[in-house]
Each structure stands twice: as structure tokens, then as C-alpha cells.
Amino acid sequence: MNKKLSFLMAIVFMTSAATFSFVNKANAQEKIQLENFFQNPEKTAYQISPDGKYYSFLAPYEDRLNVFIQKIGKTKAVRLTKETDRDITAYFWANNKRILFLKDTGGDENFQLYGVDVNGKNLKCLTCFDKVRTQIIDDLRDHPNEIIIGLNKRNPQVFDPYRLNIKTGEMEMIAENPGNIQGWMTDHAGQLRIAYAIVDGVNTQILYRETEQDEFKAVLTTSFKESVGLQFFTFDNKNVYATSNLGRDKTAAVIFDIANGKEIEVLYENPDYDVSRLSYSRKNKKLWSAYYTSWKSERKYFDKEFKGLLKRLEKELGDYEIGISDYSKNEDKFIIRTHSDKSLGSYYLYDKTKDILTKIHDVCPWIKEEDMASMKPVKYTARDGMEINGYLTLPKGVDPKNLPVVINPHGGPWYRDSWGFNPEIQFLANRGYAVLQMNFRGSTGYGKKFWEASFKEWGLDMQNDITDGVYWLIQQGIANPDKIAIYGGSYGGYAVLQGLVVTPTLYAAGVDYVGVSNMFSFLKTIPPYWKPLLDMMYEMVGNPETDSIQFVATSPALNADKIIAPLFVAQGANDPRVNIDESDQIVNALKKRGVAVEYMVKDNEGHGFHNEENRFDFYRAMEKFLDKHLKK
């Protein structure tokens, strides 16, 4: 599990525009049913029991994803849960006889932990506290009846760690959060030995203790702009494998002397991209690989056996991205997942002892790769010289000239778009739209300098990066300048609104999905557990008092008089991150001026629509809206 602080959450054009193959428009592909893109997968999220005898998965029951298990080698599966209000968010094997899962209510993100036996009996809620969010700190694989969780039960703003007996439901607080700790970490024995704290508002601190009987002591204090992402202890439980950007721009894989708070060895660093995480063998106590993302996911191997395993799988599975989803305790059976830009992929069971790879199931068998569009990496230069990487998806069967386009900035904003199957992108391409996604400044994975270039640039240089991508697409001759829309969710929704404000004639329409509209009210309505991070948010986003003039200029709801393009807004009523008031403000401001605005609110959703029927409603409405304004 990556232990970075929660606030850090979120290529050369490989085929130039001139070399895209030209196809007669008569060969343009037929429209695929909307539901095919957005319905729940047939089977997904496969995991394997610790003893390697069963695998589990999520599959629909009454249109909601529920947990099923199946004995390996058999064809019949048994459903363990019967949730009908909302999909199960996540689940895992606690031991060979019991599975734990998380779910929230109506998208409020106050996740509660439940347990159920593998025969479907003894269903029990373990953390059903009102307005309390459950975090998983350590699943304690070597302690079959215990896990360590975090709860903000005592104080809504902070999480205390508890050791929970999943059999009896008894729990014991094993440390009290003094109010500034944002994360906790255990060693390989399941002992809580590391904490991450905020000090002085904008500095981060790593605290360490030798045993659970000792007091935590600070070992390293840095600006939040520098990060040591502690991944897991070395196998003697003395030092820690970590990702670190201390004294460097790109995050590297290192060994960290936790007792003395310093790096002692650099294992791998990439000159162009951040290392994001590390993986290892629990059984053999070996470091497997480091991971980073260029335009695709890539690995740096440390273990020859692990490298041989992946190369053996690649040889049989072909040109897909291949990942290990789960493996048995003895590491003799592995769940393998494939995917690509044109496929949600398949799951396989690899029996290492027998060297047999067996296909389990396609995630969405109704998705046909030959009908999907290619997602190509692109690169352009922003007006201030910043290099921006992104992806361009062109509709199949049409000349890449003068096309209607949807610009799709990602959310976060400290996140990034990656190569892979995206149902929204494929849906839009199937409807005849070219889609441009860009990793504007602040997007993660490109180093510290690129990330910091986004600070206090909401609606300013970050927005310019998006605008410059539109101009680049027009210059390439791909985009019809009169038929360009912008669509995004969360921060991407904010970028939609700000784009309509600062470049009112550039876009023919906009679709804002759970987006921020007012910088002042946004920072007042963040979830309580974000409040300890508020000083950092002020440095990264801006302070509503000292940056009030900027906030007035970069709050779309306060500049709605500049919007002339039609707008479609979608919002979950229970959204804890972007309060519904954000959408209400922009909608009401536009309605007062008589600007065309459509508004969809779902009362049983939060930050994004998770229920299948709501997704169908949203994308049907969006398709109709875009067709109306881009295909006149």
C-alpha cells in the first residue's frame, strides 16, 4: 500500500497527424449501444484465497456489484452478499474462511467495514458508526483474525488506528492521533511503527518507534513539496523501501534508514518520470520491481525470477499490459489481469508449480476490440514553453480532418491520465468525436518541478495548458474550430467552467460533472478530514483571504456573465468533496441570464455516479447534448 500523504492524491506524438491512415467516411463504424460502455462488468476484481483453493470476484446482482466465490476447477460460483442500494466498493480475503468488504451510503464516502463467511453466513457490520469513515491500514495477512483500521470516530478530522478482531468485532485503539497525523504504517510483523504528521501547517514529518511500547519520535521534517513515500519495511524490519524526491526532481526508489531519517541507497531513478511504487515477495522476501509511467506503465525489475514470470506471461498473452492482481500465500498461484486501450481485458489463473496459464473470464465480453479506437500519445508545447503530454483518440473509419472534438481534462488535479481502456473516451469516439486528454502542469508522474508549476494556477496557467492543446489540435487540422466541446469531472469540471469563462468563443458547449465553481465556497465545504491539510491547500490552490482578487477572477460562478456557450451540469446530492452548492451556484447564475443550461442531480450519488442506472441517464443526456451543439 502506498503510504504517501492523501493530499498528493491524483511523449512524443508516436504517430503524427499527417500519418494517420485515411479511410473513406463510408466505412465509418456503426453506433454501439450506450449501455455496452457503461454497464457494470460481467465479472471483475478477482482475488485468490490465501490457500489458493478459491477465487473471488465482483459481479452484478440486481444491478449492483456483489461478492462471489468459486472453487478453482469448478464452474459454479456462490454469491456471498446481496447489496441492492450501492455497489460494494472494495473487498479482500481476511483469511481462508472470511471476506471483508467496504461500502458507503449514497456516495457519502463514509465507508463501513463488513465481514461475511465464505458460505455466505455470519454477515456482520464491524464499523457501523454514524458519519464515520473507515480506512484499511493493514490487512495483517499473517494474522488471520485481526486487521488494523483507521477511524475518525473520536474526531471527524483525524483517524485513530485500531486493532480489530474480525471474529468478535472487538477493537482496541493502539495509538491516539494527537490531531496532526495523516497516515500510519506497520512492519512485516503487523506492528504499528510509523506515523506521518503535518507540522506548522505546510511541513510534513515522519515519526518512528522501535516497538509499539515506545513513544513516536520525529526522524525527518521537510516541506510538503518534498516527499518520502514509505512503501514497506526491509525484510529484517530495520529499514524501509521507499520512493523519495529528497534533493531531486524525479521521485526515485530508495532504501530509507527509518531510525535516522535518511536515504542510504538509491535503487532506481528514471530521468524523465517519477517512480510511483514498489512490489515484493512476502514468501521469498525479495524486492520484485519498481513502477513508473511514461505513456504506458513500465517496470524496473530487481528480481530475475519475477522478471522471468512476467516475460513468460507476455510471451503467451501478447501485446497487452499485464499485471498481477493477487497471489496465494505460498505464491504458487497468481491472478493475472490484462488490458489495453481497446479492452478492459481478462483475468487468468497462473499455476506456477504446473506452469499452466488458464483464462478465467473476460471483464466485459461484449466489448469487441476491433470496434474500439486507438489511444495515441501526443505532445505539444504550451505558450510559456512548458511541454505537455497527452493522448489523442480518433474515431474509427473517418479521415482525421476537421472533426468535432471533445476536450477532456482530468480531475485531481494532482493526478494524471494514462494509457488504457476508458469507456467515456471510447463512447465519444464511437459517436464520431475526436477526444484530446492532456496532462497539464500539476499532473503527477513528471517530477517535482512540473507539479509545483501548478501551484496557485487554477484557472490560469493550468487552464492555458488546456487551451493551448485545443489550439494545437486546430493547427493540426484535426479539429473543426466551430465544433469543439469541453467535458470533465471534479477539477476537470472546474476546467470546463473556467474554459467557458476565459475563452467563451472557443467552445461550442461544455459538460461539467461534479465540478468546482466558486473557489471561496469550495475551500469552506471540504470534508472534515481534509481540514488539517488546509494550509497546504492554501499554498497549492490559494488562500481565500490573501488571494481574494485572484479567486474572484478564477471562480466561474462569479464570472458567469462571460459564459455564452450552452452548458450541461451533473451533480451528486451527497458529494462530500464538491458540495452540491458548487453546481447550484453556476446553474442559478446562468439561468438568471437566460443562458441555456441543463442540470441533472442524483439524490443517491456523491462524487461521481456509481449506480448503473444513473450512469446510463447521465451519458444519454450528455450524448444528446453534444449532438445538439456539435452536430447541427
Q: Which amino acids are annotated catalytic? A: 490, 575, 607
Identify whether 400 is preceded by a cis peptide bond (ω within 30 of 0): no
Report the DSSP pairing between strands 252-257 and 240-244: antiparallel
- C-alpha 380: how far from its chain's center? 24
- C-alpha 299: how far from its chain's center? 19
User: What's the rounded Cα separation, in Å, for the pair 92 and 95?
Assistant: 9
- C-alpha 481: how far from its chain's center? 32
User: What's the rounded Cα separation, in Å, for the pair 42 and 36?
Assistant: 11
* Helix, strand or coil, per DSSP, at residue 87: coil
- In one-letter notation, the amino acid at residue 487 is Y
- In one-letter notation, the amino acid at residue 217 is K
User: Would you say 122 and 94 are in contact if contact means Cβ atoms under 8 Å apart?
Assistant: no
- In one-letter notation, the amino acid at residue 468 is D
User: Would you say 3 and 230 are in contact if contact means Cβ atoms under 8 Å apart?
Assistant: yes
Cell of 416: 494524471
* Helix, strand or coil, per DSSP, at residue 104: coil
User: What's the rounded Cα separation, in Å, for the pair 380 and 137?
Assistant: 41
User: CB atoms < 10 A from the CB of 62, how many?
Assistant: 9
User: What's the rounded Cα separation, in Å, for the pair 379 and 389?
Assistant: 4
User: What's the rounded Cα separation, in Å, for the pair 617 and 620?
Assistant: 5
The H-or-E segment that residue 359 falls in is strand 356-362
